[in-house]
Structure 1
Amino acid sequence: MEDQLTAAARQSKVQPCPECGADIPYDERFVMWCTACDWNVDPGGAEPVRGRFEAMQRRLAHRYGEQLHTELLADPDAAKVRDRSGTLVRVVAVAVHATTVALAVGGILLVVLGWNTVVQPVVGVILLVAAVALRPRFGKLRHDGPLLRRADAPRLYSLVDEVASAVGTYGVDAVIVDAEFNASVATFGLKGQRVLHIGLGLWEVLGRQERIALLGHELGHYANGDPRRGRLIGTALASLHTWLYFLTPVRTPHRRRTVPEMLTDVLMDVPRWAVYGVALLLERLTLRDKQRAEYFADRAAVRVASAAAAAGLMDRLLIGDSVASALRTESVRAQTRIGGAPPRAAADGLWERSAERAASVPEREYERLRRVAALRGHSVDATHPPTHLRRHLVEAGEPAAAAVVIDSEAAAAIAAELAPARMTVARAVIRDLAG
């Protein structure tokens, strides 16, 4: 009762807007801003962009996201037909892999046939090392958090199977749990087995149907045919990014480059810009289909969980920085013994406290975050459509009943299956985030 009175007192404060004079009700835990004129709606400014390539990705993602948003608003089936660039995309991807094969063959020939010189075998070994580094990788099942197999969490897997069936695909072979404010699906191994990654930072702040929406969105990627998730194109993009990593010179601040370093940089310029151009081409050719796949994954989330749940999920995505900051604060408090509790005890109830904080975020703050997302063109990453456009399409669709509904009994059973993983990850958060 006392906590409710304190919260009510915080939210009852009112101050006139310095720009337009309108009354601003505010909660001291959150940014004070004006709904009438948007004064102070975005005090933090635009998000930083890491490098030229990410800046290019974000520009293209925003442009294609807006184009597809307009098309889908006018006709929900208008964007089902993929771009006609599919053949060119495959040709470019094959050319990338053919380059890797040529490096391997050239390296072998120089090593085997060039023993009458010293230079040829050395160059051959270098080419072979490059070919190995650039080889197509089919993924390994790497995980920083607990790995759950079907026998470990049968009710969770049953829910995943039900959602997968509702979106037109099949379930997963492994589930990885960690502390990230994220969720994703991927394939691993030569057989293309599927793995679902559940970040508890996100999962624990979602309601039951919002979790269904999250699963529907992620599993919807398998049903929508995102070209970047295919082996040919996905591995080609990975090879190009590996090339860029090796060809980009490492700069040491406040140190003048030596003459050999400058010559090496000049020699690397031509192949680096060539690789950059091919990567840019492949990004342009596949990004629109990637955007389309995200919109259709949102549609899958609506179908399995309802439009309200899908919209709620997108709102929760906007508080990711706040959730991550709160978890770091919990870790620092535990490591410095603020409050007197030892670190192990601080892990108890960590996720419940995170969920309570998220539940206390008022609608006014979500409205501010939605406006900031629209101003900044916020997206989950550099390849997703802007979040506010995704949310608008979700709300603009025809309302329909959820195909999958999780009741309290099933939710409790899944929570019990996740309990050991939740404690393991909570202890890792308390131990590691303070540093």
Structure 2
Amino acid sequence: MRTAEEEIVSSCPQCGVEIRSDRRFTTWCAACDWNVDPQGPGDRKRGLEGARRRIAQRYGGRLFDELSAESTGDGGRRTGRTVSGLLAYAMALVVHGLTLVLAAIGLLGVVRGWGGLGMAFGLFLLALAWSLRPRLNRLSDDDRVLLRGDAPELYALVDEVAAAMGTRGVDAVVVDVDANASVSHLGLRKRLLTLGLPLWEVLSPQQRIALLGHELGHFTNGDTRHGMVVGTAFRSLNTWLYYVRPMPNPNVIQAITNLACVPLRLLITGVMALLDLLTARAAQRGEYLADTAAARAGSTEGAVGLMDRLMITDSIVTTLLRETNNRRLRGTGRGGQQNADGLWEALAAHLDSVPQSEFERLRRVGALRGHSVDATHPPTHLRRRLLLGATPVPAAVTADAVRTERIAGELARLRGTLAREVVRDGYGNL
């Protein structure tokens, strides 16, 4: 709630309506949308990232219409996903097949060219194929991992949400400092949940359950893009792009090399764009269905509140940057304990103080710009509208104060460690 010192009363220069605003946020007019988006849409993203966002917005809008019809009983087409999925798998297998061919040629070169140039060329191809191989997710030494013995109450909550979604829980939880959350496969059969502490800290208990429902809901939707075959093909293609990227400030030989790599770079980009196109519909639909899972787990109100928090992830990042910079300047020693105390509480307090008018402004900006969490998600305002347009559902899982406190206690050590690291190194440098 804003204080009297933070409130500004003015008149809209466009329609004359009285405006009551918070001096910490953009002053705008809800009646005529004056100054609703003072920065404008910004530069349009180009290249593969721009293509992905355009595809996401196009499919996001179409699927919103279809799923809205389904939720009102008017039916909804489900065609095209199977064919697109099969084509995506076929393309992914071709990508992996090329890696296998490189390995076979490299092995042949080593055997037949033993001791000569053929052997050197063969070793090069083998090294290239090894770097392009399909790689499964694994935990790194830097990951902050919570196992079941470390956080039994958190795992019990995850298991309860998973059961409500008709799936099983996860085998490991990683906590990091991204304002995000995700699930992925770990190795061949295990499941990993990654929780971004900045996002977790600004959510209410029911919004956290909705978040868990959304992420675990992905395991029931069969998202091809993040599956083992197609997902590892994307990684291999990204590795190819890394190898053929243009060298900066090239000399003559490097400039010729850059020019020679252009056709290959265009080919790889085209293959990735086609894979994106083939998997976009299933990925977008999977996000909408995961939102439905979020509402089933944490209630429609909790899921809608989660959407609002996702709309202000930029503010989460900005607040953390400001807090960590201020604490580093005030502290007598870099990263001292006194500097890190209360970091997450300060973040949550600031986000709780964001007025509803700012949420509404960001929703309108999102509709104008087609805001989405990233290039693979549907527009956030459409996700929110779909939740509100469906029949409200109660929470299948709840968290009382005792349960919430127990989970907070299990996260306490990591909260302190990550707060100290963020203050010591600066947010964004971890």
Question: Any idea what the Cα deviations from partners look like across 1:304-324, whole Å, max 9, x if unmatched?
Answer: 111111110010112212121
The aligned residue for residue 99 of structure 1 is: 98
CA distance in 1, matches of 2:44, 2:140: 28
Alignment check: 8 A CA contact 1:144 1:178 kept:
no
Alignment check: 8 A CA contact 2:176 2:196 kept:
yes
Question: Any idea what the Cα deviations from partners look like across 1:58-88, whole Å, max 9, x if unmatched?
Answer: 0000000001001111123625553422221
Report whether the alignment pairs 1:348 with 2:341.
Answer: yes
TM-score (norm 1): 0.93
Q: What RMSD over aligned residues (CA atoms) do the two structures have, in Å?
A: 2.0
Alpha-carbon distance, 1:299 to partner:
0.5
Decide which moves more: 148-157 or 176-185. Answer: 176-185
Counterpart secondary structure, 1:24: strand
CA distance in 2, matches of 1:224, 1:368: 32
Runs of 4 or more above 4 Å deviation: 47-51, 338-342
Decide which moves more: 84-93 or 73-82. Answer: 73-82
The aligned residue for residue 262 of structure 1 is: 255
Letter in 2 for 1:58: R
CA distance in 2, matches of 1:144, 1:65: 35
Alignment check: 8 A CA contact 1:16 1:23 kept:
yes
Alignment check: 8 A CA contact 2:328 2:339 kept:
no
Q: 1:103 and 1:341, CA in 2 relative to 1: closer, same or farther beyond 3 A? A: closer
The aligned residue for residue 6 of structure 2 is: 10
Report whether the alignment pairs 1:146 with 2:144.
Answer: yes
Q: 1:397 and 1:113, CA in 2 relative to 1: closer, same or farther beyond 3 A? A: same
The aligned residue for residue 129 of structure 1 is: 127
Alpha-carbon distance, 1:49 to partner:
5.9
The aligned residue for residue 168 of structure 1 is: 166
Alignment check: 8 A CA contact 1:89 1:282 kept:
yes
What pairs up with 1:15-164 in 2 under 5 angstroms?
15-46=10-41, 51-76=46-71, 78=76, 82-115=81-114, 117-118=116-117, 120-142=118-140, 144=142, 146-164=144-162
Give the gaps of 5 or more residues in structure 1. Answer: none
Alpha-carbon distance, 1:428 to partner:
1.2
The aligned residue for residue 179 of structure 2 is: 181
The aligned residue for residue 421 of structure 1 is: 414
Letter in 1 for 2:248: R
What pairs up with 1:288-367 in 2 under 5 angstroms?
288-337=281-330, 343-367=336-360
Counterpart secondary structure, 2:203: coil
Alignment check: 8 A CA contact 1:83 1:289 kept:
no
CA distance in 2, matches of 1:48, 1:93: 32
How many residues end up aligned between the 2 structures?
424
Alpha-carbon distance, 1:297 to partner:
0.3
CA distance in 2, matches of 1:112, 1:432: 50
Question: Any idea what the Cα deviations from partners look like across 1:377-433, whole Å, max 9, x if unmatched?
Answer: 110001100000000001111112111111111111111111111111111111111
Which one of 353, 374, 387 corresponds to residue 367 of structure 2?
374
TM-score (norm 2): 0.94
CA distance in 1, matches of 2:31, 2:126: 63
CA distance in 2, matches of 1:386, 1:29: 26
